[in-house]
Structure 1
């Protein structure tokens, strides 16, 4: 699967999880769904920052679309942290709604503006191999506790770093 298709598929999963959280009746159900959402968002963030964005930068440079996407990731991570800290509290729904709005904005720009440019700039075979690598990494990251990578990313964001170190690419 092409990297852009994989990321779009993950965006759809995240959207479904936000809707499920909104309609959940019990606080316990919301907490369980939020943990699943946070794991998905953190794993998704990891594969974009470590693999997809560096591959895009290598071919396209640090253009406006990529720069904005990286900044948006930092803002989303902060909102995710705030929502995570509010689980079980009165302000959880508010914080989760703001997180959802930030993610929806990011997804819309990425899918409508950035991905079409990526698909023109990067060969289909490269996008396929990136997608395979990213899918494997995503599954590994989903099994980890989301809090450690979230907090590490936040430390980098608060330190003013735009990008994380790219992951060493597997040879084709």
Structure 2
């Protein structure tokens, strides 16, 4: 079925997150070029927003998407690799969130995180999502609803402490 006729599934939902975060990283890069007086604070704020988005995204993948996928496909090495990539991203996220100023090292960490996420997204799009969509015993539309609900809960929690 062409993608315009099939119902949106969990892969579409997760990929929408990917696209939103990619735009945020582009906005961050533009702020790095900005000479505005408030650019450093704007970079700090945007980086924290990126970190919240990525934290929530990674958590719903780890709690719901990856376990469902692990039960439905044979090649689970891709999932293990994705989980390791998440952990490395979380380490960088923690460093970014702990920063008090947007200096050169801070900007470098955010840029490296962006490159890292870009690599991770390509693997999900090109390898994991096609395998998920080919798995017969996986209801990706029901999983989309479950992920969307959990994502909203986690986002509410993040915003309550931010």
Which category describes the TM-score, using the shorter chain as reference length? 0.7 to 0.9
Deviation at 1:88, TM superposition (A): 1.2
Structure 1 unaligned residues grouped into runs of 5+: 149-172
Structure 2 residue aligned with 1:77: 90
Q: 1:123 to 1:87 in 2, by over 3 A?
A: farther
**Residue 60 of structure 1 is aligned with which of 41, 50, 73?**
73
Question: 1:144 aligned to 2:157?
Answer: yes
Structure 1 residue aligned with 2:101: 88
Question: 1:106 aligned to 2:113?
Answer: no
Question: 1:20 aligned to 2:27?
Answer: yes
Deviations 1:52-92 (A, max 9, x none): 00100111256221111111111111111122223414211
Structure 2 unaligned residues grouped into runs of 5+: 1-7
**Residue 130 of structure 2 is aligned with which of 108, 116, 126?**
116
CA distance in 2 between partners of 1:145 and 1:115 (Å): 27
Q: How many residues align?
A: 146
Using the size of structure 2 for normalisation, the TM-score is 0.83
After superposing on structure 2, the runs of 4+ consecutive aligned residues of structure 1 that deviate more than 3 Å are none
CA distance in 1 between partners of 2:23 and 2:90 (Å): 19
**C-alpha RMSD of matched pairs (Å):** 1.8
Structure 2 residue aligned with 1:4: 11
Deviation at 1:44, TM superposition (A): 0.3
